[in-house]
């Protein structure tokens, strides 16, 4: 898990992909909330890295070699 986290920030391609996803998530949150109440809505912007962190935390459970065929 930690190797996936650190390898995600090693090369330029991975960094660009992660930043692109984060920019798209930020755009989605901003467009939905329209930042009408900046203080409360800006707290939603803290949720931007959660999908990447969720993937890193759960990727070990989706390894195809660990799936049993019963």
Using CA atoms, how far apart are residues 63 and 29, in angstroms rounded to an integer? Answer: 31
Neighbours of 44 (CB within 10 A): 15
Cβ atoms 46, 26 nearer than 8 A: no
Alpha carbons 45 and 42: distance in angstroms, whole number: 5
Domain boundaries, the chain: 2-60
* Closest by CA position to 8, among listed 45, 59, 46, 61: 59
pLDDT 10s digits, 11-47: 888 889 899 999 999 999 999 999 889 888 889 999 9
43-62 confidence digits (pLDDT tens) = 999 999 999 889 888 887 77
Task: Please state the pTM of the whole predicted model.
Answer: 0.71
């Amino acid at each position: 898990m930690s190797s996936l986290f650190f390898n995600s920030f090693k090369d330029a391609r991975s960094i660009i992909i992660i930043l692109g996803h984060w920019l798209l998530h930020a755009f989605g949150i901003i467009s939905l909330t329209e930042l009408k109440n900046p203080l409360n809505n800006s707290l939603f912007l803290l949720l931007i890295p959660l999908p990447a962190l969720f993937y890193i935390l759960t990727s070990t459970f989706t390894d195809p070699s660990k799936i049993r065929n019963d």
